Structure 1
Amino acid sequence: MERLQKVLAKAGIASRRHSEKIIAAGRVKVNGQVVTKPGTVVNCEQDIIEVDNQRLLRSEEKVYLLLNKPTGYVTTLRDPQGRKKIIDLVREVPQRVYPVGRLDYDTEGLLLMTNDGDLAHALTHPRYGVEKTYLVKIFGLPKPHKLKSLRQGIRLEDGMTAPAQVKLVSRLNGNALLEIKIREGRKRQIRRMCEAIGHPVMRLTRTHVDFLDLEGVKLGTYRFLTSEEIDRLKKKTEGIKPDKKKVRMGVKNGIRREERTDRSANKMRGKKISERKGY
């Protein structure tokens, strides 16, 4: 017997937190009855569980995809406005997969998709501090003190951001190309950070999630993760506790957050990012 939101997460429907919202919205049925209480205990071997009128399959094979998301696609699986969805790009995958985190409609780049709810939850939970790397083309040339404020943490409407790694990659016709590495996942965080220093984003691409990159994956296509990559991701998240030397818990303006205090940066690998096509 397990709580309903945990069963949904294990089935890859969504993270436990988002599964609670799905249940509360009345989108889940147990044995034909709508359930809106997230803490409901179910027997996943005997009870018939449906999400959006689709029956939850038991013991479905776990799959792990790395998608190079184009702009013009929403990360949600349903869209009232009828816009293109990322699920349209993986129609031939028989399993029902879900995005690990989100990328904005106007953002492109690396997006993981899976039906492994436990791994998806771990990769998006702030306690694990999974690093995401972005190439960010912004309007104008920021002064050094503005880049310093991004590195140290900047105040947004939902509180201070954690320290970030920020590097000026190149100057492009009066504008700038930055590489930004963060370990948070707030809504439109990179865009809001850049707007806060007065340099709105022109183009935004996620290039890495931890050690994973877009090499060999064309825009709008995907590949399956290798068994070695899957094992490596799981080892990074299973049973890990926050490093007290690197993570400080705090409450600021009523918002609970985890922020890194280690500001060390790794050297860039490979050829210069500014040479990438399109920047």
Structure 2
Amino acid sequence: MLQGLVYAVISAACFGSMAILVKFGYMAGMDGAVMMQMRFTVAVVLLLFYLLAKTPRLLRISLRDLGKCAFLGLVVYWLQTTCFVNALETIPASTAALVLYGHPMAVTLLASLFLRMRVDRVVILSLALVMVGCCLVFYDAFLREVNTAGLVYALGAMATFSVYLILVQILLKGLKPLTATFYVMAFTAISFTLSGDIHAWTTLDPQQALISLALGLFPGVIAVTFLFTAIERIGSAYACIFSSVEPIITLLAAAVFLGEPVVWLQIWGAALIILGIVTPNLRLRRTEAG
């Protein structure tokens, strides 16, 4: 489980950069759909060059698996990402992240219903610590007036992301993480190119190009690849719990790059999230020692 935890944390750290990069993109005059078009297209190109150079055999895929990746990329991932980006346009990043981080609870519930995951006291304690920690990290979100449309988009992102993680575990079982990452992101890139601006590549200024590259590399290739690998190793529910380090990354990045203040209440929240992530591993270590 420890290896799965490391993969999930790396994925979360990269996903945590997306809210900050999207905010920078809006400041640079970019459209939400165009940013995601750039994110996924750059990610697919980078991953294609890597696979061709290192392991071209991973590009082989059956028609059945290709259809599954197409469904996830064209429909589910596109819908989840669109909701989250639209939420960021209308409400603060911390508020959007707080709503999104209801997904560990939702995924655990779905996993118990459809994947027969055993939800014991350790899992419940871990979830409780993570959820309380997220609320403390984003305590200021409760003090702000929330745009109704933005809140709906954030709830939509949380719901679709929860379903997406369960579907990844079910539909992509047995498929190599890099293969799944490449094809899911390729179809997502197609969907955002069709819903964005096909000519956007010719109008990017240097700042927008740099933001696009960062979006493709960090919350693109690295984040998705490590997330799929974590789900393959430990399942979607535990991957969600361990990925809950993402709010801490978002908090630190917002403080460093956006100048947002960090208070002690948020530091205690971060400590609770880390404790919630560590709890299942402590149980595992005791079991192995016994």
Larger RCO (alpha carbons 8 Å, 6+ apart): 2
Larger strand share, 1 or 2:
1
TM-score normalised by the chain length of structure 1: 0.23
Larger helix share, 1 or 2:
2
